[in-house]
């Protein structure tokens, strides 16, 4: 606020009145208001709504950002975070980014404006620079899910999804005899998607199988995109004998679309997913998938966060690796 006041050549109280909308006894001229707002935009200033009353005090609130609140993968993760937070007498504010950079940036702005003691994030687009800004502007402890993040003050929880993807693809080739495997991924802007695709390609290369562009489709993590992808595979002269989707929702969409066209799974087409959400055991045949453990991930993130909030740990950023394993069911 001091910087805004200096740039706009007004007092800090004037800046406060412009931003709060409370003018008091002396009206603020339009020219003054314009200078203040231009300075706010130029400096990227977000008013901390509770700074005056909470300076030096705890808020007893943490914020958590996930990518898709509709994806069952995140439900046990959020529940585990809430359980740990409630044990510490804390509330949890949940935000949903919809897998978009805009959503993730809006979350950052919200946390900067409304202080919390700690932040748990599942970032797909934000990197170390944005996390540094968050820490500098808020002083909050930060823990993230995602092995791509390497920040000296941020704890990271991650699963070796690339290794699990490679091992599962190799199993499809060596143990199940599939030589023509369709891949349903996402755009390269998602680091998890890029890692899993690279691991898939590595498995094909080590098995001396050709890389065929027609067997690669781009989805958006949703059931519908998985269905669209498998419809394209089935339109090929030689459809794949197996399909590997990088999350369970797309795998389920692929399986249902194939069955709608009379394809018998797994006899005519095998399907494998990634995550092991509850729906993987509800569909028929039950979905073979790579299991991650979101409840354990959430618990680890929350426990690491509260160690920092309570000053039980003040050192450099830590990395916590969580297990991934292949769960074999009837869809392969």
- Residue 50 falls inside a structural domain: no
How many C-beta atoms lie closer than 10 Å to residue 240's C-beta? 21
Q: Are residues 82 and 113 part of one domain?
A: yes
Cis peptide before 285 (omega within 30 of 0): yes
Here the tokens at position 67 are 């990518």
pLDDT of residue 14: 87
d(CA 133, CA 151): 12
- Residue 51, in any domain of the structure: no
- pTM score, two decimals? 0.79
Asked if 138 and 202 sit in the same domain, the reply is no
- Are 332 and 242 in contact, with CB atoms under 8 Å apart? yes
pLDDT of 52 reads 45
For residue 221, tell me if it sits in a domain. yes
**What's the half-sphere exposure (Cβ side, CA atoms, 13 Å) at 157?**
25
Q: Looking at the structure, tell me whether residues 251 and 319 fall in a common domain.
A: no
The whole-number pLDDT of residue 53 equals 41
73 domain residue, yes or no: yes
Q: From CA 131, how far away is CA 144, in angstroms rounded?
A: 10
**pLDDT below 70 — which residues of the chain?**
20-25, 46-57
Q: Could you give phi then psi for residue 182, rounded to 5 degrees?
A: -80, 145
In tens, the pLDDT along 170-179 reads: 999 999 999 9
Q: In terms of domains, do 148 and 184 share one?
A: no
Q: What is the pLDDT of residue 24?
A: 59
Range of the domain at 240: 161-291
Q: How many CB atoms lie within 10 A of CB 256?
A: 16
The pLDDT value given to residue 13: 83
Contact 162, 198 (CB under 8 A): yes
Are 270 and 51 a contacting pair, CB within 8 Å? no
Q: What CATH code is carried by the domain that includes residue 219?
A: 3.40.50.2300
- In the numeric block, the tokens 């392969």 are attached to 332
Q: Are residues 218 and 264 in the same domain?
A: yes
141 and 72, same structural domain? yes
Q: Do residues 252 and 304 both lie within one domain?
A: no
Using CA atoms, how far residue 282 sits from 69, 71, 264, 288, in Å, is 20, 15, 17, 12
Q: Is the peptide bond before 230 cis (omega within 30 degrees of 0)?
A: no
User: What pLDDT was estimated at residue 51?
Assistant: 53
Q: Specify whether 227 is located in the same domain as 301.
A: no
Domains contained in the chain, number: 3
């Amino acid at each position: 606020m001091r910087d805004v006041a200096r740039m706009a050549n007004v007092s800090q109280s004037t800046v406060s009145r412009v931003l709060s909308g409370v003018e008091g006894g002396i009206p603020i001229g339009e020219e003054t208001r314009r200078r203040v707002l231009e300075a706010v935009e130029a400096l990227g200033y977000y008013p901390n709504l509770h700074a005056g009353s909470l300076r030096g005090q705890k808020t007893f609130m943490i914020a958590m950002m996930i990518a898709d609140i509709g994806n069952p993968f995140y439900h046990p993760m959020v529940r585990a975070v809430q359980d740990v937070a409630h044990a510490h007498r804390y509330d949890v504010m949940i935000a949903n980014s919809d897998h978009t950079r805009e959503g993730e940036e809006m979350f950052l702005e919200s946390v900067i404006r409304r202080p919390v003691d700690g932040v748990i994030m599942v970032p797909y687009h934000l990197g170390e620079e944005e996390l540094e800004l968050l820490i500098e502007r808020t002083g909050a402890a930060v823990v993230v899910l995602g092995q791509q993040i390497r920040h000296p003050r941020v704890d990271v929880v991650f699963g070796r999804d690339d290794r699990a993807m490679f091992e599962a693809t190799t199993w499809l080739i060596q143990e199940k005899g599939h030589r023509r495997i369709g891949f349903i991924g996402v755009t390269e802007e998602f680091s998890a998607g890029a890692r899993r695709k690279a691991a898939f390609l590595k498995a094909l290369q080590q098995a001396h199988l050709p890389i065929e562009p027609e067997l690669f489709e781009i989805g958006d993590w949703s059931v519908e995109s998985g269905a669209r992808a498998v419809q394209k595979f089935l339109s090929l002269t030689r459809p794949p004998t197996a399909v590997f989707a990088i999350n369970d929702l797309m795998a389920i969409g692929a399986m249902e679309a194939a069955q709608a066209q009379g394809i018998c799974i797994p006899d005519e087409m095998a399907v494998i997913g990634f995550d092991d959400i509850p729906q993987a055991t509800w569909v028929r045949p039950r979905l073979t998938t790579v299991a991650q453990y979101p409840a354990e991930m959430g618990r680890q993130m929350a426990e690491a966060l509260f160690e920092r909030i309570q000053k039980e740990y003040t050192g450099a950023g830590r990395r916590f690796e969580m297990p991934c394993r292949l769960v074999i069911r009837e869809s392969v």
